């Protein structure tokens, strides 16, 4: 790792089953495993990227199968530089869980951090209107909204790039 590398902790959040682990695996390893089992515990994966001629190391945290335990959430979010929220475009309840997650983040992280929301599983028949998701994302003050498919790979790289870029901009502003 070069000396001038920025390190950002980016935490994934969202309801169980929306595709957080699949998105991470698609991004890091470029494959999709339909047999993927529910993650146990939280994992983190590392990806080195270049953003605007700057070396950035992303520490990507995946909460695993314990999404429902709010005490764990606080530990998990602590020290995050950015957050990556996921819902499933075939599940309205998964969209409506995002505000609760974001209030957990605000309780755990003192300063305001960039957040991106992705609507995943665009390869399936959607149940949530894009405009509804966009409205919510705007109300939640997230920096961006994208739609992805961990299955086809659509927009996956772009989504992680956006959050990396937003993290970099936030440290440069500070």
Contacting positions for ligand G3D (CB under 6 A): 16-22, 34, 36, 38-39, 120-121, 123-124, 149-151
Least Cβ distance, residue 164 to ligand G3D (angstroms): 20
Least Cβ distance, residue 33 to Mg ion (angstroms): 12
Least Cβ distance, residue 50 to ligand G3D (angstroms): 26
Which residue from 33, 51, 85 is spatially nearest to 162, judged by alpha carbons?
A: 51
Point out the residue whose Cβ comes nearest to ligand G3D: 19
Please list, in sequence order, all residues whose beta carbon lies within 8 angstroms of the beta carbon of residue 137, skipping any fewer than 6 positions away: 117, 144, 145
Q: Choosing among ligand G3D, Mg ion, none, which partner's interface includes residue 74 (Cβ < 5 to 8 Å by kind)?
A: none
- Would you say 91 and 59 are in contact if contact means Cβ atoms under 8 Å apart? no
- Would you say 155 and 127 are in contact if contact means Cβ atoms under 8 Å apart? no
- Would you say 6 and 55 are in contact if contact means Cβ atoms under 8 Å apart? yes
Q: Which is nearer to ligand G3D, 51 or 121 (CB)?
A: 121
Q: Choosing among Mg ion, ligand G3D, none, which partner's interface includes residue 34 (Cβ < 5 to 8 Å by kind)?
A: ligand G3D
């Amino acid at each position: 790792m070069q000396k001038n590398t920025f390190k950002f902790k980016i935490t994934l959040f969202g309801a169980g089953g929306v595709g957080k682990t699949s998105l991470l695996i698609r991004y890091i390893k470029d494959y999709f495993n339909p047999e993927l089992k529910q993650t146990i515990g939280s994992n983190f994966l590392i990806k080195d990227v270049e953003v605007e001629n700057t070396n950035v190391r992303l520490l990507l945290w995946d909460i695993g199968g314990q999404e429902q335990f709010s005490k764990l959430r606080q530990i998990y979010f602590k020290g995050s530089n950015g957050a990556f929220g996921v819902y499933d475009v075939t599940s309205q309840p998964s969209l409506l869980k995002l505000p609760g997650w974001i209030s957990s983040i605000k309780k755990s992280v003192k300063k305001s951090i960039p957040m991106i929301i992705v609507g995943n599983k665009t390869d399936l028949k959607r149940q949530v209107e894009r405009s509804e998701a966009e409205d919510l994302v705007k109300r939640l003050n997230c920096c961006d909204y994208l739609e992805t498919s961990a299955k086809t790979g659509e927009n996956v790289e772009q989504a992680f790039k956006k959050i990396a870029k937003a993290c970099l901009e936030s440290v440069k502003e500070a």
